[in-house]
Structure 1
Amino acid sequence: MELSQNERLTLVKYALSVLDGWGASNQQTEAILELSQEQHARLKVTPATVPVGPSTFERVHLIVEIDGLLRTAFESSHFINNFINVRNNSNTFNGYAPIEHIEHGDLTSIKRLKQCVQEMARTAEKERDQSPW
């Protein structure tokens, strides 16, 4: 199903909001979403006039998915921001915070973060299903 321009724009604005909530700098946001400084600035002022290419939209979609999975894995935005910004010694992150892991905009790193968070969300759902409360 093809999304309308309005729906695409809503997702882009949501992804920008998510990255802002994670504390991503402008430079990190631009790299993660593959935006130029000009595109990023224009998205903040007149978003409807900014064309969003397929690569950027794929990244937007991944960030939106990661956010949803994090909301499944954690009960509070505090824990989400903690996870995203605290250094992690797992094999996936090798001592880097997840935001540092994706800050250079490498698509494979963003997809790896999604896989990691997907597993965390599955585990959290299983634990909730098994809880007597």
Structure 2
Amino acid sequence: SDDQNRGIEQVNKAVTEMDKITQQNAANSEETSSASEEMKDQSEKMKAFVDDLVLLAGGRVTTAVHRDDMSDRMQFFNDKKEMPSPKPMANRSKLPLRGGEMRTPEDIIPLDDNDFDDF
């Protein structure tokens, strides 16, 4: 009778341990599934960004893209107003300093042709 009680206790402990491990495995599986879904979403967004960059650089997207998604993305680029060109500096050979006087780059950092001999 005592042997039977000890045997039943051992079986109960083993079943309890198996239940804990099963619950841990289920929780780990759920976390893995969630992380996998998140990574899938992020990879789809990254793919869309790369496709946009390829199009912006004048390349062609080699994978199939949904027409609606593509037209929405292209509309973004088409809506951009043309940027004004930068105004040219009147005299690029001289740079203004804090005091207002103009100095050439050579005045600020004098370099000799021999400075790079041992470089």
Q: Indicate the structure with greater helix content.
A: 1
Instruction: Name the TM-score, length of structure 2 as normaliser.
Output: 0.22
Instruction: Name the TM-score, length of structure 1 as normaliser.
Output: 0.20
